[in-house]
Structure 1
Amino acid sequence: MAYLTKSFVKPLKSALKYTASVIPSGARQNTFSNKRSTPRQASQSYSYFSTSYQESSYTSLMYASVPPPLLSRKFLNSQTHTIIRRSLHNCTPAQFQGTERTAKPHSSKPQKFLDTSCSIKPNPTTSHSIFDLFDKPFSTTRKTTMFSHGVSGIPKHQDKLVSNLTDGSYCSVNCGEDSFFRRHDSLGVADGVGGWRHPPHLEHVVINSALYSRKLMHYAYKELEKYDNVDNEKFYRYADVNPKQILQKSYDESLRDCALEGIIGSSTALVAVLRGDELRIANLGDCGIAVIRHNDIIFRNEEQQHSFNYPYQLGTGLFDLPTDAQAINVKVKRGDIIVMGSDGLFDNLFDDDILEEVRQLTHATRNGLRAEPQTISDALAWRAKGVSEDLNNINGSPFQCRASQEGIYHLGGKMDDITVLVAIVTESYDT
């Protein structure tokens, strides 16, 4: 009776008392027993049922164990009737069996009805509780993936790492003209493009590519944050996030701010989002990302450049658009290492140099390879910084190789802001 409403309980008690005093003992025993009844006993026990309640065989069977006084129209309104039908149909863990028989009804024509000897056979191997009445759309916990991450940044004209803490005004952090953000499920980096010349006819504007790149990453973070807010409709579309759309929203908001504040600038951008076993990437420009598994690079993106040292970029002028960004999905596993950074990293270190640092800082354990992302990002940033300042580097650099291909003489690395983000794919349980 756990499923009956409070308004149903009190009348039910009085009805049961009334039934015990009115129904003949033989009919009472026959109605609630598991034994077969004779046609005579069946007609006697059913004499209390009004002909107006002779419904379908299933409905008659359902009410076979309900005392007759409860079946009056005065007591059973439509809502209570529906509750009983739904409860008995959906919630009773038993099997009802009945046989059709003929008996002499009130009218002269023969009429079929279900035998009142209704046998209820509970399933002995299945236990039931009140919680079985509710749907279970998904399990209490489910396995998912997230990032364990670290970040390091060294501005072009400094010899120390920048603080990776936000200052409260922005959700992103500046490293010279670079900017970045990091979350448990996503990473972002932008490289502000220098070399702007002040337009002579726009004296009131401010050239600030560092601020533009920071706004770009700030609004990308804020857009991704909406998927964590249960009051936002995007919370229910968490698995459908598209980093290219995130970049578009961020670009639109940044342009609006720059127009209001009188700022001009441009920046490359890369956003990577983790959903389950899939790493979704949107890249515009020359920022880089690599996926390392078992000390081997299984994925490395390609740079987008119009010409040598002229990357695709988003900005306040007539530049490229977020729709021009590369959209890439990469399958990842637990333990995969994601190395992501501005061109200050990938212009100074070859892929083999990055692998060498990762191998040295990765330790084999019983559960697989173990690494500390912050330690790896620090090591990569300092190594790239060393190459960028070494003008006599005999091993060369990626930037030097590309310059040679263009017929440009360049020795050593490239002086630039260096931002490195390292993330390791881990498993967690989402409640």
Structure 2
Amino acid sequence: MIKFKPRNRKTSMKKSCSSAHLQHSCDMIMGSFYLPKRTRKSRRCGQDAHFLCREKLTLGVADGVGGWLKKGIDSGKYSRELLKNSVAALDLENRGSANLRRVLEEAFCMTKSEGSSTPCIITLRDDDHDHEHCLNALNVGDSGFMLFRNNKCKFKSSSQQHRFNQPYQLGNFNYGDGPDIATEIVVPVESGDVVVAGTDGLLDNMFPYEIEEILSRTQDDKNVAKLAKTVAKYASYNATDRYSDSLFSRARKLAGNKPRLGGKIDDISVVVAKII
């Protein structure tokens, strides 16, 4: 995980189960959990990245596109550098009114690693003209988020795909997409709302109703780090279920490919935030 600290301090990165609590009029608590995938060739190979930015009410996830491994390139380096640069760009933004498009454009220009990534960055805003508080998100590709209210899914972001399993992606290559293609999303929020953000390892393997069931069984809904872990473990179980009628298998069929049951084995990054 990439942690945010003011500009004159060192920015640290680590894989963790973590939580953050903000003390402002417009607040949210955030927690995260990351499960790198296991393969036959390697015990663990993680290409996802994520961050929680305490001071700026902002979080982000990014999937390093796995296809680069065929060329000997670890796109996890790109996703980690992209989010590290996003955190640096956030340092210049005001809390509650961060300009995410400016943040992503600056981070994209600063990122020099090989590979590509599908980022989703979300901030809690308190300066919207139509709503007292809202989520402002910028999404590229098949990372994304869901918003839950009273344990029911009220919103789910859409995936950007060139074609099946080939998402829009930022990267340093000739046919890569630029940050200008990112979808901007504004969703009004209320106190008590829960945001679940993740990479495609989550979104390809879990239906919203499955997360609704987890939320309805959760007694301590302020322990968002534990909640993120529970969601990630559930997604991991679904990913390895060869008989699951998963979102990924349904998308495969809708795209005209040969039907095949089962989840999608992938890195799984989950960030859970609760509006308070």
Normalising by structure 1, what TM-score? 0.53
> Alignment partner for residue 52 of structure 2, among 176, 182, 187?
182
Q: What amino acid is aligned across from residue 25 of structure 2 in structure 1?
A: T
Q: 1: distance between equivalents of 2:45 and 2:88?
A: 19
Higher relative contact order (CA 8 A, sep 6+): 2
Structure 2 distance, partners of 1:180, 1:189, is 4
Equivalence for 2:241 = 390
Aligned ranges 1:85-124 → 2 under 5 Å: none
Match of 2:10 in 1: none
CA shift at 1:392, angstroms? 2.7
- Is 1:408 the counterpart of 2:258 in the alignment? yes
Q: State yes or no: 1:380 paired with 2:231.
A: yes
Could you report, residue by residue, the CA deviation over 1:119-166 in whole angstroms, capped at 9, with x for unpaired residues?
A: xxxxxxxxxxxxxxxxxxxxxxx96212211101111118xxxxxxxx
2:270 matches 1:425: no
What residue is the counterpart of 2:104 in the other structure? 247
Residue 338 of structure 1, CA deviation: 0.6
Corresponding position: 1:281 with 2:137 = yes
In structure 2, how many angstroms separate the alpha carbons of the residues matched to 1:312 and 1:182? 23
Distance in 1 separating the partners of 2:24 and 2:49: 32
Give the match's secondary structure for 1:273: strand
Residue 19 of structure 2: aligned partner = none
Counterpart of 2:32, as a letter, is V
Aligned residues between the structures = 239
Deviation at 1:339, TM superposition (A): 0.3
Shift of 1:226: 2.7
How far apart, CA to CA, are the structure 2 residues paired with 1:239 and 1:423?
Answer: 15
> What is the 5 A alignment of 1:8-19?
none
SS at match of 2:147: strand
How far has the Cα of 1:240 moved from its partner? Answer: 3.7
Q: Do the aligned residues in 2 keep the contact of 1:284 with 1:312 (CA within 8 Å)? A: yes
Whole-Å Cα distance in 1 between the matches of residues 74 and 150 of structure 2? Answer: 41
Give the match for residue 146 of structure 1: 27
Matching residue's letter, 1:381: A
Q: CA deviation at 1:175?
A: 7.7
Q: Does 1:212 align with 2:93?
A: no
Q: CA RMSD in A?
A: 1.9
Shift in Å, 1:239: 4.5
What TM-score do you get using the length of structure 2 for normalisation? 0.82
> Secondary structure of the residue that 2:31 maps to in structure 1?
strand
- Equivalent-residue separation in structure 2 for 1:312 and 1:388 (angstroms): 22
Counterpart residue number, 2:6: none
Write the distance in 1 (CA, Å) between the matches of 2:271 and 2:124: 14
Aligned in 2, Cα 1:286/1:372: closer, same or farther, shift over 3 Å? same
Secondary structure of 1:182's counterpart equals strand
Which SS does the other structure have where 1:412 is aligned? Answer: coil
- 1:387-427, Cα deviation, whole Å (9 max, x unpaired): 1111133xx1100111111232322100000000001112x
Give 2:176's match in structure 1, choosing from 319, 338, 351. 319
> Which residue is 1:13 aligned to?
none
Q: Which of 150, 174, 191 is the equivalent residue of 2:63? A: 191
> Counterparts of 1:239 and 1:146 in 2: how far apart (Å)?
9
Amino acid at match of 1:210: G
What is the CA–CA distance in structure 2 between the aligned matches of 1:264 and 1:422, rounded to whole Å?
A: 29
SS in 1 for 2:91: helix
For the residue of structure 1 that corresponds to 2:263, the secondary structure is coil
CA distance in 2: counterparts of 1:153 and 1:175, whole angstroms: 12
User: Is the alpha carbon distance of 1:284 and 1:298 closer, same or farther for their aligned partners in structure 2, counting shifts above 3 Å?
Assistant: same
Given residue 403 of structure 1, which amino acid in structure 2 is its aligned partner?
R
- Structure number with the higher helix fraction is 1
Q: Could you tell me which amino acid in structure 2 is paired with residue 176 of structure 1?
A: G
Following the alignment from structure 1 to structure 2, what is the Cα–Cα distance between the partners of residues 148 and 238? 15
Q: Which amino acid aligns with 1:273?
A: T
1:192-217, Cα deviation, whole Å (9 max, x unpaired): 0012243xxxxxxx722000000011
| Residues 82-115 of structure 1: per-residue CA shift (max 9 Å, x gap) | xxxxxxxxxxxxxxxxxxxxxxxxxxxxxxxxxx
Alpha-carbon displacement from aligned partner over 1:280-324 (angstroms, at most 9, x marks no partner): 100010012011111111111100001000000000102111110
* Counterpart for residue 159 of structure 2: 303
What secondary structure, in the 3-state scheme, does the structure 1 residue paired with 2:158 have?
Answer: coil
Give the corresponding residue for 1:335: 192
Matches within 5 A, 1:4-153: 144-153=25-34
Q: Which runs of 5+ in 1 are unaligned?
A: 1-141, 159-173, 199-205, 228-236, 364-369, 427-431
Q: Would you say the 8 A contact 1:147–1:186 is kept in 2?
A: no
